[in-house]
Structures are given as structure tokens and as C-alpha cells.
Structure 1
Amino acid sequence: MPADLAILGLGHLGLPAAQAATAQSVVTVGFTGDPHEAAALRAGRPPVDGSLSAAELRRMLAVGFTATSDTAVLSRVRAALICEPAPLGPDRTLDLDGIRAAARALAPGLRPHSLVVLETPVYPGTTEEVVRPLLEEGSGLRAGRDFHLAYSPSRVDPSRAETPRGDAARREPGAAPRVIGGLTAACTEAAVAFYGRLAEKAVRARGLKEAETVKVLETNFRHVNTAFVNEMAVLCHDLGVDLWDVLRCAETNPAGFPVFRPGPGVGGHSVPVDPGCLPTARRIPGHPPRMVELAQEVNERMPRYVTQRVATLLNEHGKSLRGARVLLLGVTYQPDVADQEGAPAREIAARLKDLGADLSFHDPYVLRWRPAGLTVPRADGLYEAAADADLTLLLQHHGVYDLHGLAAKAQLLLDTRGATPAGACHRL
């Protein structure tokens, strides 16, 4: 049966998008360039990043979802979403190779009047300057005249954790309003009509660049505010002030106080985007946003600061970090998910290992962990491991962790998330 929708890229963005579509009876095919990945999904094996559970995948397959690496299927769809990741490269610019490959795969079979939407967080201008030429060159069609082209920033909630009622009680993936900007007004309306089947509300942006910049603003807003509370965490520790009590009180401000929490670092797939790193930066008037650059520096210092706190805490209790048994709890970047993208636990583990610590880890969602090429053994008995370790370091607060019990068992417990009760352990 021909599909209504093709989703190119079956990772942390594409699979939740496919889930939202199939939940609304949209016949959906997922495309990946990796035939082994496609075969695993068809067989009902969910991805290891936790973006989809086995039960969710089974429900999708039962209503007609399929995954393929055959580009021929792309010529039979009415709409296509490009959800390939764009990770940060060594030069601190986004790697758009996956997006380019998806556009090239889609272009030969692109039909007149079809809709193409890019959902990946990208630099403003990417849809028009990168995706559009590839689609037009490969198809012979013209965007805005022969087919519709739009951008809608993905709003996947990575912390859609299991609830006591099971995964059926998760937050619906289509619940968040969708921002949509098209190459032309007609492109915008075509995309709004499509997303009207998936989301409760569509918000029209003025155009492609405005929609792309929404994600830049949202991501940078998170990083800048997280950097500020991270600096407050360091300041409060130096002053002997309970930061977590300060936050609790500040949140009662009736004028509104956005909730941001400090932590060992900032992970995730949506990296802070500094327009000063754009390939076309020299043509951008004015100055690059220094606040974003500074926030990035502050957040990148947090793994080093946490390592220093571990060493200091051990020293205060008559122990040296070299040779100390350190148990790391929670190595993912969000609670109650398996995704490790950008998790600060990697750098913290590498720093502790370099200083001679004997590491082990526990995470209910991660069975094997090799940060920076290191082999860190997994602790099977959580409470026994905490009792045996010289210091237990909470890096991610998964819901299954009984922090009261851990605080009672651990010789020393350093909580970087402020999840434990005041006085129960040492907190960031």
C-alpha cells in the first residue's frame, strides 16, 4: 500500500515523528540508508537510544508502519519529513552530511505538488541554501512552484519517561504546538494542513529563516539560563549558601521565575548555535552573540568543576582520589531515557580516570558503557556498590533511584542534580 508520508532519518527525531503520524492513521514509511537498521525496525527491535520502546514500535508496525532503505518507495509519498541529525563537528559547526544525503535520496522521486519539510535543528538559511538546491537539481522541479518546501523545528520531548501506568500513559508526541515556516505562503499553508493531522496547534512563522531561528532561540535560551544557574551553584558553594533552598524560594516569585537547574553539564542533541560559527558569518552584520559563547564556556567548565568537587570531598574525608573507588550513577543526558548524546558523564569519567580513580557505573538504561574509549564496569548490585565505593556521584536522577536508600548506604554521596533531601548528602 502506498504511504502518505516518508520520514527520512530514523533516530531520536524521526521515530517519534513516525509514532505521531501512525497514531493519527497516517500511512508512514521510514527511510534509512542503513539496511540493517531498517531490518531491525521491521523485526520489532527498538533503537538503543530509547527514542522508542518495543511496545510502541509494535503498535506502529501493527498499523502499517514499515522501515526501508529502498529509495524507490520515496517516489510514492505525498509528504516527506527530513529528520536526519546534524551533530556538532570538530570545527564547532553543524555536520549537514546526513541532511544532504536525505535530500539527494528524496529528489529523484519527488512528485509535483508534494510537500517536503525539514525538522532537524539547523542554522538559519539551511533549508533554502542547502536542501532546496539539492531537491531542485535532483528532481527538475522548482520549490514553491512545483512542490512545497517548509521548515518545522522538531519538538520531541526526550524525557517522556515511563509512568506507573506504563508507556501508554506517555505524553502524546503530537501534543506540542508546531512552528511552521514555508518558502512561500502557499508552502506554509500546505505544511499547516499536513501538521493539522498531527498536532493540536500550528503556529505560522513569517518564513523559513524565522522558523529555523525559533529553534536557535529555544536552544540558546536553555543553555544561557543553565549557564547562569551553574555559575550560581559555584558561587553559592564558595559562600556556604544552600543553592537549592535559594532556588526553592525564588520559584515562589508571583511574577514568574523560569525553572532552570544546575548540573554537571548540558547534554542533548540540540547544541547551542552561535551564528558567529556560520559558514556565512562574515556576511552577517553586527557582532556575534557573546552571551551564547560565554554560556557555552561556563557549561563546558562544569565537568571539570564536578571532578574538583569529588577530589576535594574525598580529601576532606582523609582519602585521595588516586585509587579511590568512585561509583557514577546515571550516565544519560536526560532522566529515564537511554540516550547518552552529549551527556557530561563521559567527560567526568575521563577526568576522574586520568586522576587515578577506580570507576564503576550504574544506569538502569545502559548495560555497557565505554566513555572516551574507556571500559567502565557496570555495578549489578546498586546498594552493595554504593556501600563499597569511597564516593558515589549522582550525575542523572533516574526515577527508579531510591535516593533515601542510597544516601543511607553510600559512604559519601555527591548529588549534582539537587534531587536528594537537604542534609542527606553533599550537593552541587
Structure 2
Amino acid sequence: MTVLSSKDLSTLAESLIEKFQNKTAIIGVVGLGYVGLPLAVEKAKAGFHVIGFDVQEKRTDMVNNGINFIGDVVDDDLREIVQDKRLKATTDYSLISEVDAVAICVPTPLDMYQQPDTSYVEASTKEISKYIKPGMLVVLESTTYPGTTEELVRPILEGSGLRCGEDFFLAYSPERVDPGNKHFKTKNTPKVVGGVTNDCTKVAASLYRSVLEGEVHEVSSPAVAEMEKIYENTFRHVNIALANEMAILCNKMGIDVWEVIDAAKTKPYGFMPFYPGPGLGGHCIPIDPFYLTWKAREYNYHTKFIELAGEINNSMPDFVVEKMASILNDVKKPLNGSKVLLLGVAYKKDIDDLRESPVLKIIEILEQKGVLVAYHDPFIASFVHNGKCYESISLNKEVLESIDLTVVTTDHSDVDYSLVTEYANQILDTRNAMKNINQDLENYFRL
């Protein structure tokens, strides 16, 4: 395999940047999930020919048929770029040999011991290493611990015989997907890029600038970019934990935590509102801080503050169930045998994403206590959890009157909360979704 000199690499960098600028480069995206498919679509919309790779044939078939399965992708956009042959999907990783740049957008979950599971990243990188060629750009986008790009991805790619910084470009650019966000999408969200070398950074930044409208911010290394992403989500993690702890304390003191937050956010400086809820969900915030705490142990450091925030957030489903038990107890009903309706199972409003949803934990706790659980979610018609199938039920007068306690667990917009107010026996609102409805009702409670 040809090995290039540093002088050749600089020339090659300029050549690849020119390909990005005139949209003649072929772009690969590995992983067609919540991050990868929106990114592939935006690159194709920008004028590139894009090849999407995924191990799930069902996904690749859907993409090739113009069938969308990700909420943040516009159906018509996907159909148009597939029809125009600007995007195709495949399970055949040998086609990586055809691309000039490839982004890795695969999951990075935690294992049963709450330690990083990098198996998807490793497997994807190994496939790329089989077909990597001189001058190719590889960008890792999966959220992970600081050091992954240089300590894990780089050695695998260099197993090909090529050398990073001498023969190919390698960078890290964290995804910033916020499912359901009406204002910030992949296209207009600022991007952070950190390459192994200056040329790596320059080339990767050029690719994103040719695709996105948001600012592309260059940092000095992949580790900085990796830590930046973890810091973003840890920031939200600990501030939500503070809001949750305030909710618990306010509940004990008979103070409305939502009114407290509304009052605090009138301060125009030094305060940013975060809100309590039934727990944390999604692929990022409940998981990413554990990547940092795991990595910190390598440096003999214990991230006490972050881990405490995790304990508080993880305890919220139990607190919600305790609150439910108290409400039912006041009307002389035990949890065991009561009928509970959960309004929403998605982890956040107006999306169909169940990943790490705290509502799943609430369901587990309730069923262990003998509660008869039903749910209504306009975005999730059915799901399977722990081998059991659940189906969304209709929300109507008869259903609400037959239920002992109705709990707002996800604040979806497309729910008739007025109907709930009129016919529900007891109501617990964990999301403040009914804040604009009469809160003087004796059967209405908030977290």
C-alpha cells in the first residue's frame, strides 16, 4: 500500500478540501439511526453523493425505498434525494472503498456494569480499516469518553498499514442532535471539530462547512472535542438533578417548585432554568456522564458531584411512585389493585423515542406493586419491554372515569388535557404540562 509523505499529505488535504467545496467528494455515513440518517440527508441535500452503511438490512431497504423512520428527517427530503440517486444505503461495507470521507455515527451505550460499550465503534472502525485508502477522511461522531479517537479508533485504522497524519485524516466531531427541537436541527446547529493533526482538523472542518449552516468551531485535538461533548451533557445532567432535588424538597415543604423556577428565571443574568421530571431519558444525558466517570478512574479521580447527580436523577421514578401512592392513599385506595393511566412513554415531548425513558422504570415499579398500568401516547402506538407488549389506549371520558389515577409522564402537545381535567378522578402532573389549566382543582397535583 502506498505511503505518502507529509508534503504529499498537505497537497492531498488541499485536493480533498477542493472536492468538498465543489461537492465532487463521495461521503459515507456508518450508522443510519437518530444521528446518522439526518447527517446523511443533509450531506445529500448539500449536493454530495452519499452512501449510508448499516448492519440492519431493514433500515437500508427503507432508506432505498425513500421510507423515513427518523422524526427529525423530512419525509419529502428523503424521497427526493433517494430518487435523485444522491443517497443510497447498503449493508455492504466494501463500498467504503468508494468514499472520500466517512463519518461513524453508531451507538455508544453502557454495559450492565455502567461501563462504556464501544463494541459498535470498534466493529465499524474495523470494517473501515479493511477498505481505507490514502487521503481518506474518517470522522467519529458517536458520543464517547475523551481519548477514544486516538486510543481506540486510530490504532485500528493504522492496522491497515496506513498512518494517521501521514496517509489519512482522522478527527472527532460530536453529534448534537436534539430530537424534537423545532429550531435547531443538524443543518443549523454549530459543530465542533478536533483532528489528530492540523491537516486533519482543516480537512474535517472543510467538510462540515460545505454541508452545514451553523458555525464550525475548530479545537486543538479530538480529546478536547470528546470532552466538550461530555461536558455539554453533564452540564444538563447535574442541573436537572438540582431541579429534581429542589422538587423533592419543595414537595416536603409544601412549596410549588414550578412557581419557584418561574420566579427565578425572571433574573436576566446568572440563572438558567432547568426543570424537574420523572427522570432522565434519551441516549445522551442519562449515559454520557458515566463515560466521564469511568475514564476518570484511570486518573485515580472520583467524580463525586457527577455521580451524585446520577443518583438523584435515577431516583426520580421511585419518587414519582411514592407521590402516586400518597395521592391514592388520601382517597383511601392502595397502590395494589389500583388502575393507573400514564400519559406518555416517550422520554421527551412530541417524539417517538423510548430510549432510556424513565417511564419504563415507573411501569416496572408499579407492576411490581400490583398496579394495573395502561398508557396513552400519540407518538408510540405500541412497544415491547421486558418481553411484554404494551399498546396505547384511547383517551376518552369512559377511560378516564374508570382510572383511579392519571399521570402526565410526558408532556406531549397533542393530548387533550382539558378532557383529563374534566373526567379524571385524580391527576398527577410530573411535567407541568397542565400549567395553563385551572390548578385549583382538589384532584390535581404536581411534582
Q: TM-score, with normalisation over the residues of structure 2?
A: 0.89
Q: CA deviation at 1:21?
A: 1.2
CA deviation string 1:63-87 (max 9, x = no partner): 4211101122111111100000111
Residue of 412, 421, 424 corresponding to 2:426 = 412
Name the SS for the 2:126 alignment partner: helix
1:284 matched to 2:299: yes
1:423 matched residue in structure 2: 440
Q: Is the 8 A contact 1:330 1:362 kept in 2?
A: yes
Deviation at 1:108, TM superposition (A): 1.8
Matched length: 416
Counterparts in 2 of 1:283 and 1:343: CA distance versus 1, 3 Å: closer
Structure-1 residue corresponding to 2:203: 190
List per-residue Cα deviations over 1:288-332 (Å, max 9, x = no partner): 221100000000000000011111101111212111110011101
AA aligned to 1:393 is: V
User: Which consecutive unaligned segments of at least 5 residues does structure 2 have?
Assistant: 1-23
Residue aligning to 2:141: 119
Q: CA deviation at 1:229?
A: 0.5
Tell me if the contact between 2:105 and 2:141 (Cα under 8 Å) persists in the aligned partners: yes
Match of 2:90 among 68, 71, 74: 68
Query: Counterpart in 1 of 2:194?
Result: 181
Per-residue Cα deviation, 1:17-53 (whole angstroms, up to 9, x for no partner): 1122122122111101222321122123333x64545
Aligned partner of 2:288 in structure 1 is 272
Distance 1:129 1:114 in 2: 19
Distance 1:25 1:315 in 2: 61
Shift of 1:427: 0.5
Instruction: Give % identity.
Output: 36
Shift of 1:383: 4.6
What residue in structure 2 maps to residue 30 of structure 1?
Answer: 52
Cα distance in 1 for partners of 2:81, 2:349 equals: 25
Q: Aligned pair in 2 of structure 1 residues 184, 198: CA closer, same or farther (>3 Å)?
A: same
Residue 275 (structure 1) shift = 5.8
Structure 1: state its 5+ residue gaps.
162-169
What SS class does the counterpart of residue 355 from structure 2 fall into?
coil
CA RMSD of aligned residues (A): 1.9
Distance 1:52 1:241 in 2: 42
Find the residue that maps to 1:154 and give its secondary structure: coil
More displaced stretch, 417-426 vs 217-226: 417-426
The normalised TM-score by structure 1 is: 0.92
Q: Is the 8 A contact 2:293 2:307 kept in 1?
A: no
Q: Distance in 2 between matches of 1:46 and 1:418?
A: 32
Matched letter for residue 102 of structure 2:
A
Contact kept? 1:15, 1:51, Cα under 8 Å:
no
Match of 1:318 among 328, 332, 347: 332
Equivalent residue, structure 1, for 2:163? 142
| CA radius of gyration, larger in | 2
| Structure-2 separation of matches of 1:337 and 1:377 | 17
Q: In 2, distance between residues paired with 1:123 and 1:304?
A: 29
Alignment of 1:80-99 (within 5 A): 80-99=102-121
The DSSP-based 3-state class of the residue aligned with 1:376 is: strand
Q: Which residue among 152, 156, 161 is the counterpart of 2:173?
A: 152
Q: CA deviation at 1:340?
A: 0.5
How much has 1:281 moved relative to structure 2? 4.8
Q: Is the Cα contact below 8 Å between 1:81 and 1:119 reproduced in 2?
A: yes
Partner of 2:363: 349
Mapped partners of 2:55, 2:407: distance in 1: 39
2:251 counterpart of 1:237: yes
Does the residue aligned with 1:392 lie in a helix, a strand or coil? strand
Query: Is the 1:125–1:208 contact (alpha carbons within 8 Å) kept by the matching residues of 2?
Result: yes
> Which of residues 416, 423, 430 is equivalent to 1:402?
416
Q: Render the CA deviation track for 1:244-300: whole Å, top value 9, x for unaligned.
A: 11110100002142121100000111113246753x655415x22211000000000
Q: Does 1:20 align with 2:42?
A: yes
**For residue 225 of structure 2, what is the amino acid of its counterpart?**
A
Decide which moves more: 116-125 or 248-257.
248-257
1:194-233 equivalent positions in 2, closer than 5 A: 194-199=207-212, 200-233=214-247
1:198-240: per-residue Cα shift (whole Å, max 9, x none)? Answer: 2221111121100000111011111100000000001001000
